[in-house]
């Protein structure tokens, strides 16, 4: 018994199911775990690559900005140490003509026009020399005081600074609203005159040059809280960048300071998903799937078929033992243990068929004849047994259970006896509702042993309704329908309610369940069939229980009884029988 218990589970499984278990736990699961680990490694490598691409892109943008501002610093230094320019700016002029001649000589011998025209930048030197005329490269310092950068620059005391902002009210109408300005003080020569150099870059030129930097990321170059450049969005604001950075981990930011101004470069890449990883590494993943999943499964399947196909042949051959003569296996493939088993089977078949033909065949026929005769005699005896013998046997079982203390079994037997006696005793078709209640209660108690906590019920019959006569086994038919079609198909706890009461000169009988219910079309069809049921309808119907009960109720109450159904899919169903009080008879 112990050995059989240990091997009972595997012993009950078919061979192909055993192979399936072996596939799952010995092949597929290890391979899937291995593939998941490999896929995780590929994912991490892809994540590292994205981080590397972002860092390289930021480095390229930072180098560009360093070169741009280094160029500005070089130009401003060259201007600051130029003696001719300093002399020109420091000189006081008596008349505009003197200033104009000096301006022409100075500018023609300097690199102002070359620098400005080559890079499309606007170079301006502001000074508080009141004898100079404002125009082109040289402007009065009073004009600079109206610029947004001036106050911050003078208060900082720095020699150099960089500013980027959107100018709502530019001093020079031709100046771009989006401004990127390098500012430097001229301090190389001793003079009481204040001189400030500004180099304003055209953002269109910067954008064009930065667009030529090869990157595969979404880039944002920010100066403080102003977005100086983006290779994806047009005129993005700083909050957009912050929102995008707060939305995920697939970005890199580098912060650095130039001339007292903080710059931030953001690099964003698309979110890394398993789908993206698979799409980017299709060749590698195909190789992994082929060599770690498909090939092993194909080999295992071929091995299984080489075994199970021949086992099925043996199974079929042994199954033919119901015939008088066993049939040998005609084609035997292979030379392994299974093929040897097939050869041995053929030898046993030859011996068995010979014995069957010579010794046992006539004797088996004689035994079959005797068995048929005895079965006929037994059936004849059984047909004479009174059904009350069953009740006596059930009572004996109940008493024996009580003596042994098995009260639950005794209660089940008692309720079964009640139901069986009600089925057998058809000498009287009409019973009181109180008697039908006893049978309903017995039936639901038996169902409670079957469903356990999944079924609960409540029977509420008013005292003035208990003596009303109704056809036997009609209400319990509706209760049975509620159990089978309502509670049985539901995995959660369900309720069955039986209510009988009088109201407005009518008697109402309700059977309600909290099962799965029916949809509107099913309810409409069933309610019509219940109210129009005839004997011919029952003969044609597949399921006659409910319709049979409805017909007997209609016949007893002379077609005055009405049937209604209330149901909602997934909630429950209620059958309501309405009988006029003047049609009621009591016991």
Three-state SS annotation for 17-36 = HHHHHHHHHHHHHHHHHHHH
Q: What is the DSSP string of 64-108?
A: HHHHHHHHHHHHHHHHHT-HHHHHHHH---SSHHHHHHHHHHHHH
Q: What is the pTM of this model?
A: 0.46
d(CA 115, CA 205): 14
Which of 117, 267, 75, 79 lies closest to 205, judged by CA?
117
pLDDT, block means (10 residues), the chain with 587 residues? 50 70 76 74 75 88 91 88 86 88 79 59 88 86 88 89 83 71 87 88 85 86 86 77 76 87 87 64 73 74 73 69 64 72 75 68 59 39 37 55 69 64 57 89 80 87 93 87 83 90 94 90 91 79 77 87 91 94 88
Which of 488, 479, 500, 470 lies closest to 546, judged by CA?
479
Q: What pLDDT was estimated at residue 576?
A: 95
Q: What pLDDT was estimated at residue 471?
A: 87
Q: What pLDDT was estimated at residue 10?
A: 64
Q: SS3 for 574?
A: strand
Q: What pLDDT was estimated at residue 272?
A: 64
Which tokens sit at 224?
Answer: 């403080």
Which of 473, 481, 503 lies closest to 579, judged by CA?
503
Q: What pLDDT was estimated at residue 312?
A: 73
Q: How many CA atoms lie within 13 A of 350 on its CB side?
A: 7
Rounded to the nearest 5°, which phi and psi values hold at 257? -115, 135
Q: What pLDDT was estimated at residue 287?
A: 77
d(CA 74, CA 71): 5
Q: What pLDDT was estimated at residue 420?
A: 58
């Amino acid at each position: 018994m112990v050995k059989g218990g240990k091997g009972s589970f595997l012993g009950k499984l078919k061979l192909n199911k055993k192979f399936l278990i072996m596939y799952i736990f010995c092949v597929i699961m290890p391979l899937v775990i291995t593939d998941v680990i490999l896929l995780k490694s590929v994912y991490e490598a892809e994540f590292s690559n994205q981080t590397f691409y972002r860092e390289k892109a930021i480095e390229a943008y930072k180098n560009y900005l360093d070169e741009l501002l280094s160029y500005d610093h070089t130009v401003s230094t060259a201007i600051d140490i130029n003696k001719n320019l300093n002399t020109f700016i420091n000189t006081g002029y008596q008349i505009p003509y003197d200033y104009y001649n000096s301006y022409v000589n100075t500018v023609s011998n300097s690199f102002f026009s070359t620098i400005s025209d080559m890079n499309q930048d606007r170079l301006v030197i502001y000074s508080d020399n009141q004898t100079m005329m404002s125009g082109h490269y040289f402007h009065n310092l009073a004009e600079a005081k109206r610029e947004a950068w001036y106050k911050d620059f003078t208060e900082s005391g720095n020699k150099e600074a960089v500013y980027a902002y959107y100018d709502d009210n530019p001093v020079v109408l031709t100046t771009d609203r989006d401004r990127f300005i390098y500012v430097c003080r001229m301090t190389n020569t001793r003079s009481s005159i204040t001189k400030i150099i500004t180099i304003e870059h055209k953002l269109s030129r910067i954008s064009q040059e930065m667009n030529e930097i090869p990157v595969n990321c979404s880039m944002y170059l920010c100066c403080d809280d102003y977005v100086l450049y983006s290779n994806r969005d047009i005129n993005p604001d700083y909050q957009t960048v912050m929102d995008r950075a707060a939305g995920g981990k697939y970005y890199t930011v580098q912060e650095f300071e130039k001339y007292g101004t903080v710059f931030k470069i953001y690099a964003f890449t698309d979110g890394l998903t398993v789908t993206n990883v698979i799409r980017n590494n299709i060749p590698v993943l195909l190789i992994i799937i082929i060599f770690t999943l498909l090939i092993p499964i194909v080999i295992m399947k071929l091995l299984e078929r080489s075994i199970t196909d021949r086992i099925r042949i043996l199974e079929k051959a042994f199954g033919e033992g119901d015939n008088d003569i066993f049939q040998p296996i005609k084609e035997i493939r292979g030379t392994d243990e299974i093929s040897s088993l097939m050869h041995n089977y053929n030898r046993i078949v030859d011996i068995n068929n010979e014995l069957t033909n010579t010794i046992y065949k006539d004797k088996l026929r004689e035994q079959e004849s005797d068995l048929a005769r005895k079965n006929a005699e037994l059936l004849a005896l059984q047909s004479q047994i009174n059904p009350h013998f069953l009740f006596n046997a059930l009572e004996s079982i109940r008493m024996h259970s009580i003596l042994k203390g098995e009260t639950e079994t005794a209660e089940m037997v008692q309720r079964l006896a009640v139901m069986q006696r009600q089925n057998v005793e058809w000498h009287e078709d009409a019973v009181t509702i109180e008697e039908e209640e006893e049978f309903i209660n017995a039936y639901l108690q038996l169902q409670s042993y079957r469903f356990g906590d999944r079924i609960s019920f409540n029977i509420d019959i008013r005292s003035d309704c208990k003596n009303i006569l109704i056809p036997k086994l009609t209400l319990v038919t509706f209760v049975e329908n509620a159990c089978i079609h309502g509670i049985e198909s539901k995995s959660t706890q369900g309720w069955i309610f039986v209510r009988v009461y009088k109201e407005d000169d009518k008697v109402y009988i309700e059977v309600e369940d909290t099962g799965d219910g029916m949809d509107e079309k099913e309810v409409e069809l069933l309610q019509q069939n219940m109210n129009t049921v005839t004997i011919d309808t029952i003969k044609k119907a597949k399921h006659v229980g409910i319709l049979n009960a409805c017909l007997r109720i209609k016949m007893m109450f002379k077609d005055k009884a009405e049937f209604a159904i209330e149901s909602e899919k997934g909630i429950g169903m209620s059958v309501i029988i309405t009988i006029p009080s003047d049609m009621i008879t009591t016991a």
